[in-house]
Structure 1
Amino acid sequence: MEHEEKQQEDQQEQPEQKQESHSKYIRMKKFPFIMGIFLLIFVTAGITLLALTFGDEKQVQPISRERQEFEKLYSTYDTLNKDYYTKIDQEKIIDGAIKGMISSLDDPYTDYMDEKQAESFHENISSSFEGIGAEVQQKDNQITIVSPIKGSPAEKAGIKPRDIVLSVNGKSLEGMSANEAVLLIRGKKGTKVNLVIQREGNTQPINVTIVRDTIPIETVYAKMMKDKIARIQVTSFSERTGSELEQSMKEMKAQGMKGMVLDLRQNPGGLLDQAMKIASLFVPKDEIVFQVEYRNGKKEIAKSENTGGKPEFPVVVLVDEGSASASEIVAAALSESADIPLVGVKTYGKGTVQTTEQFKDGSNVKYTMAKWLTPDGNWIHKKGIKPNVEAKLPEYANLPFISPDKALRINSSSEEVKAGEKMLAALGYKPGTVDGYFDQNLQGAVNQFQKDVKLQQTGTIEGKTTMALMDKIREKIQKHDVQLDKAIETVKKDLSK
């Protein structure tokens, strides 16, 4: 996965640094069985984010030409270098060979970053960033959205988990790595980027124009709901998330919190040390948080460091299809080791561990080197975690984006017209038969909507009307959050026991 997170060096005591070792900001110290880094990648329309990876630091050793399995590779290189009809770019052809090798693994989490990509990654990972705020990964040779970040331009534009990005500003992403795609998607605040999206259930691709912005780095949002039940949303696991959550819980307790909903929806992951810290707030001391299994069958176990005991109030975890990587580790740990119920829909399903090797020229290889398992030994890769209590959002919460630059008017017909009809119907207007055809009934509904939001009554869906329509739908989703309602209901049941 990929994501635009931002972490910095952990301030705890650092292990001895080796020459050519991994960057300091991804070092881990807390687990004696792990000598190197923890990575779990999640990318946000602009920057790659390391979140969970295990493994020893390694030195990159030169490959001896005596190794017979490389004889064909060397021969091909020598032939091209000597006899190709134009002079070859040696660096480019070597990079291409590495990318081809990695591509043959058919693993979206194994990737090669050339010097430029790696440099960009290092520059952005320790600070806020500018982009659209959508985590992406390469899957089945396509660039797929994992999750948009809360409050980001991508979320506001209606980008959804599992959307496939076909092109960026007219350039096809077919065959590109996630890192290459991210370099095209991100950009300076205030600039526009056009994405062509393929969404499951839609016969036609969707054009989405998004204005880039600075992506918020705040990761914890707390609010006291009715009956003294607090909703605390964690949007990613960055360097201060654990401390932010602890502080938010203290504030909610001071307000008389009787129960808590830990909202991990649309959380693509992040730093594992923060996931461990959060899990340890709920999982009893020395209970298992997760396991790591290597290809030789060896397993290593990470246990809770909880010193405060189990919370004295009922807790429910809220998850969805955008909950991935480190958020799945937390959800599984709380479910299996603390008997905390999960509410929502099945999670994303990323159950592998990555590490990196750095080369002298600044490039690196990120590769999958282990599985992670839940406390009970379940591997959730490509399966996700099924909640104890299922709660789905209504259909209008998954309607496709309508481009404000496109005019939908009388007698036109398209999937976007159908989306407009459904939006108006969800808001209480009467667009007539929902069939994707712009008839007089729909025109009348548009005029009434424009009147209600104090816009010029043109009877056409475009520009400010399109944006207002999508804003109203977003407000309705937030105001009538059926998944949150179900989570609160579950907390109340525990309170009544």
Structure 2
Amino acid sequence: MAGTLVLGLVIGAGGTLLGLKIADVSLVPGTGSPAFQKFFSAYEILHTKYFEHESDTKLLNGAVAGMTNSIGDPFTDYFPPVAASQFTQMLSGSFVGIGVEIEQTQNGIEIQSVMPNSPAKTAGLKPHDVMVQVNGKSVKGMALQSVSNLVMGPEGSSVTIGVNRPSDPGHVLQFTMKRARITQPSVTTRMLSGKVGYMQISVVAQNTATEVNQGLADLQKQGAKALILDLRGNPGGYLNVAVDIASDFIPKGKLIVQTQNRNQQIDKLTSKGPGNNIPVVVLMDENTASAAEILSAALNEDDGVPLVGTRSFGKGTVQETQGYSDGSTLKYTVAKWLTPNGSWINKKGLTPTYPVNLPSYVSLPSISSQKLPLEENQNTKTVAYLQQTLQALKYPVDRTDGYFDASTKQAVMDIQKSAGLPITGIVDAKTAAAIDTRFQSLLANSDTQLKKAEALAKTLESSQ
């Protein structure tokens, strides 16, 4: 067993994974039955009589995918080789690539972030660059996964990315780089005021327990007397790693999680210790799932750790994976997991001890990522984003319905004036960047959930 994996969101197509297996499987379960005969007949017809030639691989992969889809379980899934590799790399904490996060936007395939010390960073790619070519091939109209497949390749091989940059419209900028193995830490730490340490866990990957152990030690060396554990957006990961992380905080022998299989057999996993008496506050949200929920529930029920934020995702099942020689993987649910108190949170989530919502404007997209320019009398969803952003920045915009009116133009002109830009009332790339800079400053001071957690942590530390 490589470990129990708990992933709740679509990117991991998650679940509580009890292990990663790789084997060739030979199984003949009643192939003479009418159901199997129907399958063989359908395969033979499509293989020999369909008007275009289709490969065996495509037909059989489709059959496996069809079986997983028929179950109706979003966490039982079939990954073709490329997707399986990406899934495995995400959980290993390292991958071969250029080091960018891409997303399909109305502008096309847009770079959302560039990782530090990555080939992309060294080459000069930037957030909001829109990919238009990969190795000279146009990617216009291509699906996100197809573009990702083109960007991927063997370690050390070269790839040239052509992009449109908002600040340099009308030109395709070319950047050549060599693909490299990139290690992405799953844990980041920093000290806050008042002897409060902050630790963010982005995914419960293979090395996360080691990173948590080291991060906790570093924070305590820096004087941390209380800890905020930020699990917001964490889709989960390995169950056994979640148990190891919990063991850093929960005394040895205490129950952390229970799993129950199809035969109703219950397996109880307890803390390995050593535990830690540092006061902890957990941050969670609607994207905190699976292994992250296991950790949150154990800390809450075993140690009385307060949960701050919004109700969690509610992913309460356990998966295993079966790998095949062609690189594909079948992931399937084998059990459900229960909190130490025996609760099954599936489709319900964990209820925060202190419910705190973020301001609605924190989910607004950057204006630079939208299709520009924006100007008076336009009526679009993008203009609505602009108006909501301007209102959040306290500019007196009269409406947020997407119609670019006189008040919207005046607010844009006010920003242009303060930024030293030509006062046109039209949102071009430079104006969008100026708006985004102001908005990012606002966001940096808008984390109401973190502020609540910090106040609680200071109270817990002072009461020790």
Secondary structure of the corresponding residue to residue 232 of structure 1 = strand
Alignment partners' CA distance in 2, 1:454 and 1:189: 36
Residue 108 of structure 1 is matched in structure 2 by 74
Alignment partners' CA distance in 1, 2:343 and 2:114: 29
Distance change in 2, residues 1:230/1:121 (3 Å): closer
Matched length: 414
Q: Report the AA paired with residue 341 of structure 2.
A: D
Deviation at 1:246, TM superposition (A): 2.4
Secondary structure of the corresponding residue to residue 226 of structure 1 = coil
Would you say 1:370 and 2:332 are equivalent positions? no
Q: Which has the higher strand share?
A: 2
Secondary structure of the corresponding residue to residue 369 of structure 1 = strand
Would you say 1:291 and 2:290 are equivalent positions? no
Deviation at 1:172, TM superposition (A): 7.0
Alignment partners' CA distance in 2, 1:220 and 1:105: 35
Residue 483 of structure 1 is matched in structure 2 by 449
Alignment partners' CA distance in 1, 2:375 and 2:292: 43
Secondary structure of the corresponding residue to residue 332 of structure 2 = strand
Query: Does structure 2 conserve the Cα–Cα contact (< 8 Å) formed by 1:392 and 1:482?
Result: yes
Deviation at 1:382, TM superposition (A): 1.9
Distance change in 2, residues 1:132/1:477 (3 Å): same
Deviation at 1:304, TM superposition (A): 0.7
Distance change in 2, residues 1:191/1:305 (3 Å): farther
Deviation at 1:316, TM superposition (A): 0.7
Deviation at 1:182, TM superposition (A): 9.2
Q: 1:270 aligns with which of 230, 237, 254?
A: 237
Query: Does structure 2 conserve the Cα–Cα contact (< 8 Å) formed by 1:135 and 1:268?
Result: no
Residue 353 of structure 1 is matched in structure 2 by 318
Residues 89-488 of structure 1: pairs in structure 2 closer than 5 A:
89-118=55-84, 126=92, 127-128=94-95, 129-130=97-98, 133=101, 170=141, 183=148, 217-307=184-274, 309-311=275-277, 313-402=278-367, 403-488=369-454
Residue 108 of structure 2 is matched in structure 1 by none
Q: 2:44 aligns with which of 53, 78, 83?
A: 78
Ranked by relative contact order (alpha carbons within 8 Å, sequence separation 6 or more), the top structure is: 2
Alignment partners' CA distance in 1, 2:185 and 2:329: 29
Query: Does structure 2 conserve the Cα–Cα contact (< 8 Å) formed by 1:150 and 1:266?
Result: no
Deviation at 1:354, TM superposition (A): 1.3
Show structure 2 runs of 5+ residues with no match. Answer: 105-111, 121-126, 129-138, 153-158, 165-174
Alignment partners' CA distance in 1, 2:392 and 2:402: 15
Alignment partners' CA distance in 2, 1:59 and 1:321: 38
Secondary structure of the corresponding residue to residue 257 of structure 1 = coil
Show structure 1 runs of 5+ residues with no match. Answer: 1-26, 29-36, 137-147, 158-167, 174-179, 194-210
RMSD: 3.7
Residues 30-69 of structure 1: pairs in structure 2 closer than 5 A:
37-41=3-7, 52-54=16-18, 60-63=25-28, 65-69=31-35
Deviation at 1:185, TM superposition (A): 10
Q: Report the AA paired with residue 107 of structure 1.
A: D
Deviation at 1:300, TM superposition (A): 0.8
Deviation at 1:319, TM superposition (A): 0.8
Deviation at 1:472, TM superposition (A): 2.8
Deviation at 1:495, TM superposition (A): 3.6
Secondary structure of the corresponding residue to residue 453 of structure 2 = helix
Secondary structure of the corresponding residue to residue 421 of structure 2 = coil
Give the TM-score taking structure 2 as reference length: 0.77
Deviation at 1:186, TM superposition (A): 7.0
